[in-house]
Structure 1
């Protein structure tokens, strides 16, 4: 489910572009100093994170940690209506979507991440997926190194490539969930 969103097109962008834009917004809110540094280096479009989102961190984590991570992402973002949206023909899915709009599903049928999004402002289809917060968690973890050593986009890419296979999935997941909660709190204040 998660990777399909990378290729979903709208009038203004492709799914992965939307996620990169969300990553920029999240970083700007949660780590403005890092965001400004990346902007100064010409990396405000966050294209250096493209690979992480497209292959869902397969190179950044060991194979076992990748499986753990993917299962966690799928469980957190579970939406009971999501499967039918992808698997039914488009005309039937839109009709069913119209029918189910009146029916409110109990909040306990959704994944933890989706429940948190719903509690903080209703079901928002534009809410960034947990994978974006995972990238933000990795950036936050490497923030001091990026601020101290990155003098250009090549340095940013090198620093992020050096982490390949050396990240801890549980630590990254915990960081992503903390960042998500912090982001929702700050977003609700504005």
Structure 2
């Protein structure tokens, strides 16, 4: 049986990607899944899919979002600052670093993503700041200068732009979105459904006696 492959679409600054990341990584590991790390550009994906950046949303939606963040923080037991110092924040610099990390393997990329998400929502750091990103890379045991150089390479920028178009073509409109066998699972609160789909995938590959 071939290992399942999951397309993992995120915005680097997404609170919901932060909430689901550790559980998603554990799930992927349990099922031996290959994870395709696919950070998106919200300034491209949102307008193309009917979304609005947070400051442009209606007050009722903004207030309800805060209610939900608090509920999930308590439910998951996370050390989350629901109104972090640096938010909204540009996610593209961190996204490019994520892509650069992905060239070093799935484990490296997922570890760096974890550091980025926690930087925003736990540590209240500015992930649009190159110094902060280099600090996070170093804390992950990576060569910060080499990673930054790779992130700045035109090929990485082109890859980032292509992923955003790929997301739009796949009808992905929010983060996190997990795509398995062409089926979309939007939001960290859909991880249970992803788990069921992975279980079905595993059963389908079991040889029959």
Identify whether the pair has TM-score above 0.5, normalized to the shorter chain: no
The answer to which structure has the higher strand fraction is 2
More helix per residue: 1 or 2?
Answer: 1
* TM-score when normalising by structure 1: 0.28
